[in-house]
């Protein structure tokens, strides 16, 4: 295991609808960062009493130091897989944070500075299984996290899934990663741009 790149409280929120597998995504992502990369990670969840539908979210905090508060307060990365989630949590995003949406479902993002891929459509048409949306998002998120090693993430993902769904999810992960690389460009560049964009809007008040 390489020594992890130092980071101080990187906050991720994975949000959308119940049934999209967001809490599983949080678990897979957290497990890969904690056990695969050696970071301190807390993953918390919030969901309604419904089995499907309703809102659902998982928060992941990553740090090189022990984490006290396990939930998120200001987000570095917001993943929104439903318009409601996007609208409710956008205001919690740091000025220098990044918004990633599912463009199949989120037609009108509350900002024009965001990254998007049609995850639902890709899962349905290219993988043939809409339930793989979460692992596909994990692929895209892996590309966006400058401290995540795609190989380690993939290995951890495969280790955490039961055999009968391993292959299809590995395929979805690879597709998410590839499309993110192709469409978003280099991760370093994305964060540099977000940083610059954040500085320009220093005077704006985000309530």
Partner 1 sequence: MAVQRKKRKRRELFALGNEAVAEGALLAGCSFYAGYPITPSTEIMEVMANRLPLIEDGVFIQMEDEIASMGATIGASLAGRKAMTATSGPGFALMQEHIGYACMVEAPLVVVNVMRGGPSTGLPTSPAQADVQMARWGTHGDHPIIVLSASNVQECLEMTVTAFNFAEKYRTPVILLLDEVTAHTREKISVPDPDEVEILSRVEPTVPPEWFKPYADTARGVPAMAPIGSGYRTHVTGLTHDVMGYPTQRPDEVKDAMLRLFRKIDQYYGDIQMSDEYLLDDAEVAVVAYGSVARSAHLAVEQARERGAKAGLLTLKTLFPFPRPAVEKLTHRCHTVVVPEMNMGQMSREVKRVNNGRTKVRTINRVDGQIITPSEILKAIL
For partner 1, give the closer residue by CB, 60 or 144.
Answer: 60
Q: Report the run of H or E that residue 187 belongs to, with start and end.
A: helix 187-200
CB under 8 A: which stretch of 44-52, 103-111, 140-148, 165-173 binds partner 1? 44-52
Instruction: Give the whole-angstrom CA distance, residue 179 versus residue 119.
Output: 10
Sign for the CA dihedral angle at 70, 98, 170, 54 comes to: positive
C-beta closer to partner 1: residue 73 or 167 = 73
Contact indicator for 1, 38 with CB cutoff of 8 Å:
yes
Q: Count of residues binding partner 1 (CB under 8 A)?
A: 22
SS3 content of the chain, % helix, strand, coil (to 5): 45, 20, 30
For partner 1, the closer of residues 65 and 178 by Cβ is 65
- Which residue in 15, 43, 55, 179 binds partner 1 (CB under 8 A)? 43
DSSP state, residue 46: E
Check binding of 167 to partner 1 (CB under 8 A): no
Of 34-42, 75-83, 103-111, 197-205, the window that binds partner 1 (rule: CB under 8 A) is 34-42
Q: How far apart are CA 71 and CA 44, in angstroms?
A: 6
> Whole-number minimum distance, CB 205 to partner 1, in Å?
17
Q: Does 40 bind partner 1 (CB under 8 A)?
A: yes
Give the whole-angstrom CA distance, residue 110 versus residue 5: 32
| Residue 11 or 102 with smaller CB distance to partner 1 | 11
Note whether 146 binds partner 1 by CB under 8 A: no
What Cα–Cα distance (Å) separates residue 6 from each residue in 31, 73, 111, 129, 146?
Answer: 18, 20, 30, 37, 11
Considering only residues 63 to 92 of the shown chain, the ones binding partner 1 according to CB under 8 A are: 67-71, 73
Kindly state the tokens that stand for 160: 């955490």
Among 27, 95, 124, 166, binds partner 1 (CB under 8 A): 27
Place of tokens 């895209």: 140
Instruction: State residue 13 phi and psi, 5-degree precision.
Output: -120, 130
- Least distance to partner 1, CB of residue 62, Å: 11
34 binds partner 1 (CB under 8 A): yes
Q: Which of 117/141 has CB closer to partner 1?
A: 141
Largest Cα span, the chain: 52
Binding region for partner 1 (CB under 8 A):
26-27, 30-31, 34-35, 40-49, 67-71, 73
């Amino acid at each position: 295991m390489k020594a992890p790149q130092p980071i101080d409280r990187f906050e991720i929120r994975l949000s959308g609808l119940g049934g999209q597998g967001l809490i599983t995504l949080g678990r897979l992502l957290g497990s890969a960062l904690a056990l695969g990369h050696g970071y301190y990670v807390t993953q918390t969840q919030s969901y309604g009493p419904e089995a499907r539908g309703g809102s659902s979210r998982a928060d992941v905090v990553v740090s090189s130091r022990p984490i006290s508060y396990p939930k998120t307060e200001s987000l570095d990365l917001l993943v929104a897989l439903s318009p409601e989630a996007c609208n409710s949590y956008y205001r919690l995003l740091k000025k220098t944070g990044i918004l990633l949406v599912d463009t199949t479902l989120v037609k009108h993002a509350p900002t024009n500075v965001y990254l998007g891929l049609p995850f639902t459509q890709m899962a349905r048409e290219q993988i043939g299984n809409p339930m793989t949306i979460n692992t596909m998002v994990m692929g895209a998120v892996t590309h966006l996290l400058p401290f995540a090693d795609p190989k380690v993430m993939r290995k951890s993902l495969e280790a955490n899934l039961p055999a009968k769904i391993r292959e299809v999810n590995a395929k979805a992960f690879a597709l998410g990663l590839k499309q993110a690389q192709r469409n978003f460009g280099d991760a370093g560049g994305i964060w540099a741009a977000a940083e610059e964009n954040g500085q320009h809007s220093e005077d704006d008040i985000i309530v």
